[in-house]
A and B are shown apart, each in its own frame.
Chain A
Amino acid sequence: MTKLTRREFVASTAAAGAGLGLGLKPASAQAAYPNRPIQVICPWGAGGGTDATARIVGSLLEKELGQPVNVVNRTGGNGVVGHTAISTATPDGYTIGIITVEIAMMHWAGLTELTPKNFTPFALMNEDPPGIQVSNDSPYKTVKDLAEAIKKAPPGKFKASGTGQGGIWHLALVGWMQAMGLPANQVAWVPSNGAAPAMQDLAAGGLDMTTCSIPEARAMIDAGKARSLAIMSPTRTALYPNVPTLKEAMDIGFTTGAWRGFAGPSGVPAAISTKLTESFKKIYDSKEYKDFMASRGFGTVWNDAAGYAAFMDNSDKQMGDAMKAAGLTKA
C-alpha cells in the first residue's frame, strides 16, 4: 500500500524526484504503458489556438489510452519556457507536449539552444498555410498583378503585416520574395500584435497586404473587407476553394505554414513512442478531431514520427534560410 501511494506521488510530480524515480523504474516498465496519468505541456497560454488543439487532442487521448491526460500551460519567454520544460522532462512518455513552429525559428535568433533535434517526435497534426490578402478595394485582382507591381516598385514601397517582426508570417513573406528572386526587404514588414490587428489595419487602408493564415483572415474576408489572392500551400483550402495556390497562380513552388505537433523529450523508448503515434493517428482520423479543427478553421495534416522528424528538419532549414535573408539571425 505504501509503495503504491509512493509511486502515485512520483507520477504526479513533474519533477519526479530522481532517486525515487530510478528505484521504481523497473516496476513501471513491466506494467503496460500507460499505467498512470499523462501530462501534456502546452507552451502557449490558455484560450489560444495551440491550447485549444492540445486540449481537444488531450481529451481524445484520455479516451484512447484509458488514463487521465492533463494539459498544463507553461507559458512565458515567448514559448521558450514551455518548450524547454518538454525537452527536459523524464523521457518516460508520461510528460509529453505540443510543440509549434517557433521551435524551428527561435534558435536561429539565438533565443534558445533548443532545436527540433531535442525532441522525440510523435505526430504532426496541424498546419495552417499563409494566404496573401489585400483590402477589398485594392487595385490588385490577382496575385500575379500584385507580384508585378511589387517587382516594379522600389524596395519598401509595399507594406505587409500579419504578426511581429521575425514571426512566422514575416518569414512566409520573405520566403515568397526570395522565391520570386527579390530581396527580402522588397516589401517592408510592419510588425503587428497578431493577425487580427493587422487584418483590421488592412481594412482601414494602412497596409497593402497581409500574409497571415486563412483562418485568421476569415472574419474580414467574410465581412467583405478583404480578399485572399493566393495561398502558400501545395493544395487549395477547403474554406475558400476559389483561392489558387501560388504554384497554380504564378508557378512558384514555395510553401510554408505554422504547424503544431506532439513530441516528448529526446530518448523516449521506441515501444512507448510507437504506441503514442498509433494513438495520435486514431485521434487524427476521429470525427471529433476533424469536426473541432473544421469549426476553428484549422488545417489538418498528418505525419507519423519519421515523417514529422523529416518535416521539422525541412521547416527548420526553411526558417533558417528566411531568417538569414531577412537579417534576423544572431550574428
Chain B
Amino acid sequence: MAVYLEAFRMVLAPDVIIAILLSSIYGLVVGSLPGLSATMATALLVPVTFYLSPIAAIATIISASAMAIFSGDIPGALLRIPGTPASAAYTDEAYAMTRKGQAELALGAGLWFSALGGIAGTLSLIVLAPPLAEIALSFSTFEYFWLALLGLMCATLVARSSPVKAIASMLLGLMVTCVGMENPGGIPRFTFGNTDLLGGIEVIPALVGVFAVSEVMRAMLSPEPPKMPKRKYNSIMAGQWMLTKKYWRQMTRGNFIGIIIGVLPGAGADMAAWVSYAMSKRFSKEPEKFGTGHPEGLVEAGASNNASLASGWVPALLFGVPGDTITAIAIGVLYMKGLNPGPTLFTEKASSMYALYIVFIVANIIMIPLGIIMIRVASTVLRAPRSAILPVIVLCCAVGSFATGNSLFAVLTVAAFGILGYVMEANGYPVAAMVLGIVMGTMVEQSFVTSLIKSDGSILPFFERPVSSVLAALTIGALAWPVLFWLWRTFQQKPASAKA
C-alpha cells in the first residue's frame, strides 16, 4: 500500500503536474502540424528531460507522445493530410466524413477512442509487466542474446519496405554501435585516434538527428499545406457513446491488435493503425462503406494506435528492447535518469513504476478536455508558417544536444545522422530498423561475447537452458519463415500450373 501512496505522491508533485500539462499541449501542437511526427516530438523533448526529475521526465514523454498520436488525426480529418504517420491509415476515411458534414463525429471518434485505447494499453502494461518481470529475473546473458536477436528480426519482418533494405538498415545500425570502446573487450574500435569517438556514438543525438533533423529536411521539400478556413464546431463528444455501443467489438479488437503490435519490437503506432484498419474492413459486415466516410474503421484504428503506444513500454522497461521508435528514445532517457531498464526496476523501484502507470492514465484522461480545446483552435494553430517552425526545431536540436554533454561532438552527431536519415528515407531504407540496430547492437554483442566466455566457447548453453531454447526456436523460426513461406508458395503453384 505504501508504494501506491508513494507513487501518488510522486505524480502529484507540482513539477510533474506542470510537466504533464505543458508536454500535453506541446504534443497536441506538434502532432497536429503535418510532417512532424510523435517520435520527433519525443526526440525534441529529450534535452528538456535532462533538467527534470526522473518521474517528470518520463511523464513528459508519455503525455507528449500520446497527445501527438491523437492530434495527428486533426489535419487528417480537416485537410486530408495526416499530422503523424500513425493517422495516415484512416486519413481518407476521416476526410470523407468531414465532407459529409460529420467533422465533429470524425474528430470526436479520434479523440474518444484514442483515450480509451491509451487506457487499454496501460492496463496491458499493468497486467503484463509484473509477471514478465518475475520470469525475466532468471534471465542470464544467453536469454538476453536471443531476445535481442529476436527484436532485430522483428524489425526487419514488420518493416513496410523491402526486407533486404530493412536488413541493410539494421546492419548499418549495428555497425554504428561498433564504434568506441564500450565493447566487451574494452578495446577502442573505429575511433581513428579521436577522443570523442572513444565513448562511441551516443544513442540520443543519433536519434534526434534521424527523427528530428531529417524530418525537417523532408518537410522543407514538400509543399506547404493549404490554409484551413476557420470553422465552428457543434458538440464534439456527442454521438461517441452511440459509436462505442455500436462498435465495441471493433474497439476491443483494435485495442488487442494495438497492444500486440506495440509489444513487438520495432513496430509502433503507425503499423497498429494500418493493420487495424485493414482488419476492420476485412471483418466488417458492410465493407463496401469503407472509404466513403464510415466511422467503423476509424474506431478500430484509433483505438489501436494509442493502445500500442502504452504496450510499447512493456519490452522497453523489462528488457531494454524498444517496442517502437518512441520507446527507443525513452530507453535513453531511462538510463540518463538512473531508471535502468530491467526486471529489477519492478522490484527495486516499484513506486516509480506505479507512478508511471498513473501518469499514463492521467495523460489519457486529460487528453479529452485538452483535445476538445485543440480541435477548436486547430485552424489557428495550423496557420503557423512553416518558415517559422522548421528553423526553431533545428535550433532546438542543436542547443538540446549540446546541453546533454556540453560537447560540440553531439551537435555534429545530430547533423550527420539527420542527413543520413534523410538520404535513407528518400531511398526507401526504413530508419526505424537502423534505430533498433543502434539501440540494441551493444546488447547483442555484449550478451553474445559474455555468454561465450561463461560457457568456455561452447554454443550448447544457448540451446540447453529452457527459456533460452524457446527463444532460440522463435528466432530461428522468424529467420526461416520467409524461406518456408516461399517454398510453400512454389510448392502450391506447381501442381496448379501442372494442371493447367
What chain A residues lie within 8 Å of B162 (beta carbons)? none
Asked if A200 meets B342 with Cβ closer than 8 Å, knowing A75-B405, A191-B186, the reply is yes
Q: Is A237 an interface residue (CB 8 A)?
A: no
What chain A residues lie within 8 Å of B446 (beta carbons)? 191-193
Asked if A191 meets B139 with Cβ closer than 8 Å, knowing A76-B405, A81-B407, the reply is no
How far is it, in angstroms, between the C-alpha of A192 and the C-alpha of B451 when the chains are bound?
A: 11
How far is it, in angstroms, between the C-alpha of A46 and the C-alpha of B337 when the chains are bound?
A: 8
Q: How large is the interface on B (under 10, 10 to 19, 20 to 34, 35 or more residues)?
A: 35 or more
Asked if A167 meets B198 with Cβ closer than 8 Å, knowing A47-B337, A73-B405, A192-B450, the reply is no
* Other-chain contact of A159, B142, B338, B406, B453 (Cβ < 8 Å): B453
What chain A residues lie within 8 Å of B187 (beta carbons)? 165
Tell me, rounded to whole Å, the shortest Cβ–Cβ distance linking B466 to chain A. 13
What chain A residues lie within 8 Å of B463 (beta carbons)? none
* Other-chain contact of A190, B142, B338, B450 (Cβ < 8 Å): B450
* Other-chain contact of B181, A78, A156, A161 (Cβ < 8 Å): A78
Asked if A164 meets B137 with Cβ closer than 8 Å, knowing A47-B336, A81-B195, A111-B198, the reply is no
Q: Is A112 an interface residue (CB 8 A)?
A: yes
Q: Is B454 an interface residue (CB 8 A)?
A: yes
How far is it, in angstroms, between the C-alpha of A161 and the C-alpha of B454 when the chains are bound?
A: 10
What chain B residues lie within 8 Å of A80 (beta carbons)? 195, 198
* Other-chain contact of B195, A77, A189, A192 (Cβ < 8 Å): A77
Contact between chains at B199 and A78 (CB < 8 Å): yes
Contact between chains at B336 and A167 (CB < 8 Å): no
Contact between chains at B409 and A165 (CB < 8 Å): no
Q: Is A207 an interface residue (CB 8 A)?
A: yes
Contact between chains at A191 and B450 (CB < 8 Å): yes
Smallest Cβ-Cβ distance to B180: which chain A residue: A78
Contact between chains at B344 and A200 (CB < 8 Å): yes
How far is it, in angstroms, between the C-alpha of A111 and the C-alpha of B406 when the chains are bound?
A: 21
Q: Is A197 an interface residue (CB 8 A)?
A: yes
Contact between chains at A193 and B442 (CB < 8 Å): yes
Tell me, rounded to whole Å, the shortest Cβ–Cβ distance linking B304 to chain A. 34
Q: How large is the interface on A (under 10, 10 to 19, 20 to 34, 35 or more residues)?
A: 35 or more
Give the contacts of A180-207 with B (CB-CB under 8 A).
188-194, 196-197, 200-201, 203-207
What chain A residues lie within 8 Å of B138 (beta carbons)? 204
Tell me, rounded to whole Å, the shortest Cβ–Cβ distance linking A74 to chain B. 5
* Other-chain contact of A164, B184, B195, B202, B336 (Cβ < 8 Å): B184
Q: Is B4 an interface residue (CB 8 A)?
A: no
What chain A residues lie within 8 Å of B336 (beta carbons)? 45-47
Q: Is B141 an interface residue (CB 8 A)?
A: yes
Contact between chains at B198 and A77 (CB < 8 Å): yes
How far is it, in angstroms, between the C-alpha of A46 and the C-alpha of B199 when the chains are bound?
A: 15
Give the contacts of B387-410 with A (CB-CB under 8 A).
405-407, 409-410
What chain B residues lie within 8 Å of A264 (beta carbons)? none
Tell me, rounded to whole Å, the shortest Cβ–Cβ distance linking B13 to chain A. 18
Q: Pick the most buried of A72, A74, A81, A207: most chain B CB atoms within 10 A of its CB.
A: A81
What chain B residues lie within 8 Å of A194 (beta carbons)? 340
Give 30 A-B contacts (CB < 8 Å), ordered by A residue. A46-B50, A46-B336, A47-B336, A47-B338, A48-B338, A74-B406, A74-B407, A75-B405, A75-B406, A76-B198, A76-B199, A76-B407, A78-B198, A78-B199, A80-B195, A81-B199, A159-B454, A164-B182, A164-B186, A191-B184, A191-B185, A191-B186, A196-B344, A197-B342, A200-B342, A206-B140, A206-B141, A206-B142, A219-B344, A223-B347
Question: 7 closest Cβ contacts across the A-B interface?
Answer: A165-B186, A206-B140, A77-B198, A191-B184, A166-B186, A77-B195, A75-B405
